[in-house]
C-alpha cells in the first residue's frame, strides 16, 4: 500500500490532505471566503497571495495531524486545473518543490476528476456511471465506463450553472457565494416568475439566457419601484435552473443504461437538486450518490482520492509541468 499527499489551490481554498492505505488521515482547509465576500466574488490576485501565505502552514498542520513526515509519503498530488491560473501556480510550485527535494513522484490531478472521486468516500463506483458535474466554472454530464474514463456527453455552451446562481444572487443583493443564499431564500418563496429555460440540444445547457432574463426582470422591477419578494425570484429561478438537470439526467441514465449516478461540484450542495434527484431515482434500480456537503466545497481529500487511482495507473508528471486553467476532463492524463 502507499500514501499520497494532495494539494488543492484552484480557487479560494488552500487545502492539504493525506491518504494512506485508502484511509483519509487528515483534510486541512484554509478558506479565504470571508476576504472575498467583501468584493462580492473571488479576487484572483488576492487569492494567489493568500495561497502563498497559507500553503506552508496548511502543509505543516496536515503532516502534524497525520503524524507523518514528508519522507514517509509515496507521491505528491496537486490540482493542475481548471481554476485560477495564479492560484493553481502556488499549489504547483509547492508540489514541485516537495517532489524535487524529497525525490517523490508528482501526480497532476484534474479538479473535476477530484470532485467526482469525492463520491468514493461514500461508496465504491459501479459502471457505467453518470457524473453530473455542477460547479462555479463547469456544467457537464460525464459518462464513466470504468475508472479514469471520462466521456463528456453534454456541457454548458456558455455560463456554468454555479456562475448563474452567483450572478442572480448579486442582482438580488445576496452575499457571495450566491448559490448558498438562493437555496435558502427559495425555500420560503413561490414560483411566480416565468424565466427562460437553460435547455439546449441533447445533454447541453445554456445558462446565459436564464441569467439575463432574471437580471432584466429584477432591474425592471427595481426601476419601476414595483415591490417583489427575493424569495419568489429565487424559487422561480432555482426551479428552472435545476429542473432541466434532473430531466436530462433521467434521459441520459436510460440512454446509457447506467448503474449509478453521482453529483459533483459546488452546486451539488443545492437542497432542491438533491431532493429532485432523489425523487427521480427512488423507485429505480439506479443507485444515486449524493456527496456529503463537506465534499461539495473544494478540498484536498478529493484530490488525494483521485490521486490514488492515478498513482495505480502510474500517471506521473515531469518537473517541467505547468498548470492549465482550461484543462478538459477528457485530457486528464495529457500534460
Ligand atoms: O465547485 P465550486 O467551488 O466551483 C468551482 O470549483 O468551479 O462551487 C462553487 C459554486 C458557486 O457558484 C456557488 O454559488 C455554488 O457552487 N453553490 C451552490 C450551493 N452551494 C454552493 N449553488 C446552489 N446551491 C447551493 N446550495
Gap from CA of 172 to ligand 1 centroid (Å)? 17
User: Is the alpha carbon torsion for 265, 333, 99, 325 positive or negative?
Assistant: negative
Provide the 8-state DSSP code for 259: S
* pLDDT class of 263 with cuts at 50, 70, 90: very high
Determine the Cα–Cα distance for residues 263 and 291; give it in Å rounded to an integer: 7
**pLDDT tens across 309-318, in order?**
999 999 999 9
Gap from CA of 205 to ligand 1 centroid (Å)? 17
| Residue 333, C-beta contacts closer than 8 angstroms, at least 6 positions apart | 148, 310, 313, 315
- Residue 296 alpha carbon, nearest atom of ligand 1: 1
Residues in contact with ligand 1 by the CB-under-6-Å rule are: 11, 135-137, 162, 165-166, 177-180, 183, 265-267, 269-270, 297-298
The CATH homologous superfamily of the domain defined by 3-116+295-331: ATPase, nucleotide binding domain (3.30.420.40)
What percentage of the chain carries pLDDT values higher than 70?
A: 100
**pLDDT tens across 90-126, in order?**
999 999 999 999 999 999 999 999 999 999 999 999 9
Q: What is the pLDDT of residue 288?
A: 98
> Can you count the helices (H) and strands (E) in the chain?
11, 10
Q: What is the total residue count of the chain? A: 335
In this structure, the number of other CB atoms found within 10 A of the CB of residue 280 comes to 17
**Domain residue ranges of the chain, discontinuous segments joined by +:** 3-116+295-331, 123-290
CA angle (180 as vertex; 299, 229 as ends), nearest 5 = 170
Gap from CA of 68 to ligand 1 centroid (Å)? 33
Given this chain, do its domains 3-116+295-331 and 123-290 carry the same CATH topology?
yes
Q: What is the pLDDT of residue 256?
A: 98
138, 326, 214, 188: CA torsion to nearest 10: 40
Among protein residues, the one with the nearest Cα to ligand 1's atom 16 is 266
pLDDT above 90: residue 38: no
Query: Hey, what long-range contacts does 57-61 have (CB within 8 A, 24 or more apart)?
Result: 57/30, 58/14, 58/15, 58/16, 58/28, 58/29, 58/30, 59/7, 59/16, 59/94, 61/16, 61/26, 61/28
Fold classification of 123-290 (topology level): Nucleotidyltransferase; domain 5 (3.30.420)
Most distant CA pair in the chain, distance: 66
Determine the Cα–Cα distance for residues 11 and 138; give it in Å rounded to an integer: 13
H-assigned helices in 71-207: 85-102, 111-117, 161-171, 178-186
**Residue owning grid cell 424565466:** 195
H-assigned helices in 172-260: 178-186, 208-223, 230-255
pLDDT above 90: residue 61: yes
Q: What is the pLDDT of residue 37?
A: 86
Amino acid at each position: 500500500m502507499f500514501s499520497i499527499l494532495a494539494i488543492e489551490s484552484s480557487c479560494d481554498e488552500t487545502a492539504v490532505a493525506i491518504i494512506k492505505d485508502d484511509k483519509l488521515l487528515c483534510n486541512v482547509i484554509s478558506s479565504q471566503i470571508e476576504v472575498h465576500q467583501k468584493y462580492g466574488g473571488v479576487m484572483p490576485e488576492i487569492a494567489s497571495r493568500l495561497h502563498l501565505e497559507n500553503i506552508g502552514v496548511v502543509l505543516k498542520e496536515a503532516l502534524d495531524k497525520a503524524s507523518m513526515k514528508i519522507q514517509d509519503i509515496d507521491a505528491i498530488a496537486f490540482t493542475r486545473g481548471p481554476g485560477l491560473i495564479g492560484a493553481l501556480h502556488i499549489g504547483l510550485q509547492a508540489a514541485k518543490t516537495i517532489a524535487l527535494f524529497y525525490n517523490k513522484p508528482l501526480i497532476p490531478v484534474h479538479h473535476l476528476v477530484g470532485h467526482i472521486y469525492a463520491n468514493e468516500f461514500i461508496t465504491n463506483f459501479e459502471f457505467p456511471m453518470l457524473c453530473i458535474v455542477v460547479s462555479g466554472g463547469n456544467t457537464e454530464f460525464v459518462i464513466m465506463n470504468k475508472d479514469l474514463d471520462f466521456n463528456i456527453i453534454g456541457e454548458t455552451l456558455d455560463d456554468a450553472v454555479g456562475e448563474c446562481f452567483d450572478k442572480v444572487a448579486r442582482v438580488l443583493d445576496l452575499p457571495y457565494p450566491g448559490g448558498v443564499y438562493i437555496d435558502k431564500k427559495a425555500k420560503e418563496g413561490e414560483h411566480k416568475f416565468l424565466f427562460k429555460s437553460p435547455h439546449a440540444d441533447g445533454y447541453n445547457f445554456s445558462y446565459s439566457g436564464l441569467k439575463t432574463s432574471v437580471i432584466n426582470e429584477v432591474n425592471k422591477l427595481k426601476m419601476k419601484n414595483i415591490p417583489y419578494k427575493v424569495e419568489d425570484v429565487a424559487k422561480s429561478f432555482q426551479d428552472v435552473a435545476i429542473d432541466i438537470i434532473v430531466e436530462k439526467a433521467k434521459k441520459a441514465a436510460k440512454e446509457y443504461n447506467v448503474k449509478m449516478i453521482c453529483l459533483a461540484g459546488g452546486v451539488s450542495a443545492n437542497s432542491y437538486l438533491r431532493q429532485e434527484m432523489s425523487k427521480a431515482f427512488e423507485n429505480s434500480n439506479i443507485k444515486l450518490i449524493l456527496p456529503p456537503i463537506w465534499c461539495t466545497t473544494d478540498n484536498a481529500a478529493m484530490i488525494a482520492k483521485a490521486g490514488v487511482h492515478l498513482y495505480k495507473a502510474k500517471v506521473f508528471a515531469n518537473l517541467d509541468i505547468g498548470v492549465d486553467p482550461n484543462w478538459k476532463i477528457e485530457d486528464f492524463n495529457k500534460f
